[in-house]
Amino acid sequence: MALNQRGQAALTDALYFLLIVSALSTLLFFFAANYGQVVEQRVVNQYWREYATGALETILYSSTPRIPNESLEDATEIDYLLAAVKEDYADDGEIDETEEVLVQTISGIMQPFAANFDYVFYIYLSDEKEFAFVMIHTREDPKFYEDSKDKVKPGKSKVLFCEPKTLNDLEAMVESVGLSAQSSSRLQLVEVDSSDRTAYPVAQANLTMWVPTPIAMFIDGTSDGTLPGLNCKEYNPETYASSKGSGEPCKTCSTNT
Amino acid sequence: MGVGDMRRGFAEGNFPKAFFPGFLEKSWQKVPRFARLGKKGFLGPIGDDLPSLIPLLFALMLFFYVFTFTWNAFDQKGQLFDDALAAMRVGNTLKGNNYMRNYEAFDQRCREAHSVKRVKFLAGLIPLKTGPGQEFSGVDVEELREDFQELEGNKFECSNVDLKEDSPSLQSDSLVIRSFPVALEFKNPDPKKNTFYVRPMLLVVVTWR
């Protein structure tokens, strides 16, 4: 190469060097920006799971007065919520008298997370393939206002009682919400039939929580029948007592579990 | 042509035709060795390379900037994970199996939680309200100690620092807040009844550096 081109050659070499370093730096930058995202997600997910497990255990450990309107401090008789639920189910094969106290306990325990999470709690009888209790905490879709100062208003949270036909209908909803934390526990319920024979069906209590995601199509179902809907009714604490007729002492209150 | 002839040819600046096509041979012969040394535009070995130093230095600066950024990002994220895991460890130690029989059980777990050394922590139990229309008021890090449950003169509070000298605030470095639901056993206030009940509580763990 001619000596008068020596400077140009060095410049070309330097530009190549710059090109290689730029490429390496870009790679390094992207690697640094994405570093730890998987670990971070796992740490967060672990925390959600810890919360879900703790919440489920706390729900099952909690006490309840056997006469609904009494406070725990002044209650004539106190029982574990789980024992009361079992007794209620044994009575008529439904969780109806303890339904409200169960909802209030679950809502109270999930309250610290409820602003940022939706959840479902259910008791499923795996042998009989039916639900004893399903409660979904979700929220309405956010509303958008053009004229208002606050253009987006978050949707109001609501509690639903549901009666899905199959476990698959509920699982389809849980699978659609993306990342979720789940905890489940095995229970043994009691069933007494008309001829006083006692059975002990195995049930699964499950609590699943997720970051709020629109699930209205799963709750309402689709018109073409691909999603059958979950047969839900909204829980309203003000009208619940009159609609359910609870508030009276339960008829099995005087007996011990 | 032997190897010796080739060597001689290279040394004299004459290249055999078999090695180079015609135009290269011509251009090589046209420019004698060091012919341009005294001509205008040549600034010397360093001066000639001066323009090439600009992209070279820029490349080095870019590389070291990105390298430092990456190093800091690794360091920062590593510390974030450490803090999050330390908070989880404190929480897991304190909550145990999510059931607390009495203050002694809490105190025992609190002593075990002191094995977490890397971070400062403050933890305690806050009552969770489960009645109708009861709202959770949230956690105020700076006023946290006032919300902790007190039972028979014992406050359900645990920390590995002297809270008179150091307490968490929103300005604290690497502040992490975690909460876990637990069940706490209460003795009935009426001693005649000799019964107990279990209330849901929230174990709040705050860690900082």
Residue A56 in contact with residue A183, Cβ under 8 Å?
Answer: yes
The whole-number pLDDT of residue A198 equals 86
The answer to whether B63 contacts A51, with C-beta atoms less than 8 Å apart, is no
Q: Is B172 exposed, middle or buried (0-12, 13-18, 19+ CB in 10 A)?
A: middle
pLDDT band, very low/low/confident/very high, at A22 (cuts 50, 70, 90): very high
Q: How far apart are the first and last CA of chain B?
A: 80
Tens digits of per-residue pLDDT, B86-123? Answer: 999 999 999 999 999 989 999 999 999 999 888 999 99
**CA B82, CA A77: separation in Å to the nearest integer?**
47
Residue A154 has pLDDT above 80, yes or no: no
Tokens 């509303």 sit at which residue?
Answer: A143
Contacts of A59 in chain B (CB under 8 A): 200
The chain B residue lying nearest A54, using CA atoms, is B181
Tens digits of per-residue pLDDT, B157-169? Answer: 999 988 888 888 8
Of B67, B81, B98, the CB nearest to A28: B67
Contacts of A207 in chain B (CB under 8 A): none
The answer to whether A25 contacts B55, with C-beta atoms less than 8 Å apart, is no
The length of chain A in residues reads: 257
Q: What is the mean pLDDT of residues B51-79?
A: 92
From residue A41, alpha-carbon distances to A34, A37, A96, A184 in Å are 12, 6, 39, 22
Tens digits of per-residue pLDDT, A32-49? Answer: 989 999 999 999 999 999
Tens digits of per-residue pLDDT, A52-61? Answer: 999 999 998 9
Residue B52 in contact with residue A14, Cβ under 8 Å?
Answer: yes
Amino acid at B186: F
The whole-number pLDDT of residue B51 equals 80
Task: List alpha helices for A62-194, DSSP H.
Answer: 81-92, 99-114, 167-176
Tell me the backbone φ, ψ of residue A44, rounded to 5 degrees.
Answer: -65, -45
Contacts of A18 in chain B (CB under 8 A): 55-56, 58-59, 62
> Strand pairing of A232-234 and A157-162?
antiparallel
Residue B12 has pLDDT above 60, yes or no: no
Tens digits of per-residue pLDDT, A187-241? Answer: 999 888 778 888 899 999 999 999 988 888 888 888 777 788 888 888 887 777 6
Q: What is the mean pLDDT of residues A3-22?
A: 79
The whole-number pLDDT of residue A121 equals 95
Tens digits of per-residue pLDDT, B119-138? Answer: 999 999 998 888 777 778 88
The whole-number pLDDT of residue B37 equals 53
pTM check: above 0.80: no
The answer to whether A62 contacts B84, with C-beta atoms less than 8 Å apart, is no
The answer to whether A112 contacts B133, with C-beta atoms less than 8 Å apart, is no
Our CA-based measurement puts residue B137 at a distance from the nearest CA of chain A, in whole angstroms, of 9
Q: Is B196 exposed, middle or buried (0-12, 13-18, 19+ CB in 10 A)?
A: middle
The whole-number pLDDT of residue A25 equals 93
Contacts of A119 in chain B (CB under 8 A): none
The residues, any chain, with a CB within 8 Å of residue A24's CB and separated by 6 or more, are B63
Q: CA gyration radius for chain B?
A: 38
Q: Where are the domains of chain B?
A: 76-133+142-208
Task: Write out the two tokens for B133.
Answer: 């229309």
* A1, A111, A137, A183, best to mutate vs chain B, most B CBs in 10 Å: A111
The whole-number pLDDT of residue A246 equals 44
Q: Where are the domains of chain A?
A: 37-244
Residue B22 has pLDDT above 80, yes or no: no
Question: In whole angstroms, what separates CA B65 from the centre of its chain?
Answer: 18
Task: Write out the two tokens for A33.
Answer: 């920006």
From residue B122, alpha-carbon distances to A98, B80, B81, B156, B208 in Å are 37, 18, 19, 11, 9
